[in-house]
A and B are shown apart, each in its own frame.
Chain A
């Protein structure tokens, strides 16, 4: 799931500039990409320091550093997740999600990505009931944005299927019910 790098703000302050540098530097794959990990090990304290200092303004609209912060938090969460530091990963993934939702609204594909990644962390924490609604919402958003055959959709569908197996639940039935009832299935 790639995201384009937004243009740098002309008058961005030092914090926004630092966030931009970190985002430009940090490798984005992380999951299944051990070659990304040594650089992340070096950058992680700096990513945590800079993203902690970033204070998002309420409401949508342009704010220097906001999308970089959300991306860095999401990638830092995944780095911690693959190193079994799930307790540290979860709050970062939650913050990435809330910043992305505030910036783009609830139906943006990036929100789907964040939801999927948070669901994956909840699942590994042994909390499939926390994970499932997030993954299902991620699937709805990602399918609506990309159509059924996009690689991003396949990733989210795998997360949902994984959760359904874990719990023996029936996501398809609930999804059908939700569609028939016209419910949006929001979390």
Chain B
């Protein structure tokens, strides 16, 4: 899974297990950490990030947006309690 996909997963883990509208990310790419920010600013790149999460069965894509199972969310939150969102990226070390 790419660093951008990990960052997206970490954010989604703190939202509800309901569909998350994709423009919550694409509409505010400037607020996101890199490399997710660059991906979210480009439709094709962001689609690839989401496709990766779907391929790994970490999320499903519905018409209303991206949806994570609550167990997946719980595991991600437990894995990285309070970890800064940028820490998983390559530039964070």
Contact = CB atoms under 8 A, between A and B. Distances in A.
Contacts, number: 61
A24 B85 contact: no
Contact of A17 (B11, B21, B80, B82): B11
B15 A14 contact: no
Contacts of A48: 16
A92 to B, nearest CB: 15
B13 A14 contact: yes
Contacts of A43: 21, 24
B48 interface: no
Interface in A1-58: 8, 11-15, 17-18, 20-22, 24-25, 42-43, 45-46, 48-50, 53
A15 B64 CA distance: 22
A42 B32 CA distance: 21
Contacts of B64: 42
Chain A binding surface SS class = helix
Question: Interface range on chain B: under 10, 10 to 19, 20 to 34, or 35 or more?
Answer: 20 to 34
A15 B77 CA distance: 10
A12 B84 contact: yes
A18 to B, nearest CB: 4
B25 interface: yes
B41 interface: no
A126 B18 CA distance: 33
B82 A13 contact: yes
Contacts of A42: 19, 21, 64
B69 interface: no
A25 B24 contact: yes
A20 B14 contact: no
B23 to A, nearest CB: 8
A60 to B, nearest CB: 21
Interface string B1-23: 00000000011011110111101
Interface in B49-93: 64, 80, 82-86
A7 B80 CA distance: 24
The 10 closest A-B pairs by CB, nearest first: A45-B16, A49-B16, A46-B15, A14-B10, A14-B85, A18-B14, A45-B18, A15-B14, A46-B16, A17-B85
12 contacts: A8-B31, A11-B86, A13-B82, A13-B84, A14-B13, A14-B14, A14-B80, A21-B11, A43-B21, A45-B16, A46-B20, A46-B24
Interface of B: 10-11, 13-16, 18-21, 23-25, 27-28, 31-33, 64, 80, 82-86
Given A15-B14, A49-B14, A49-B16, 4 more contacts: A11-B86, A21-B25, A45-B16, A46-B16
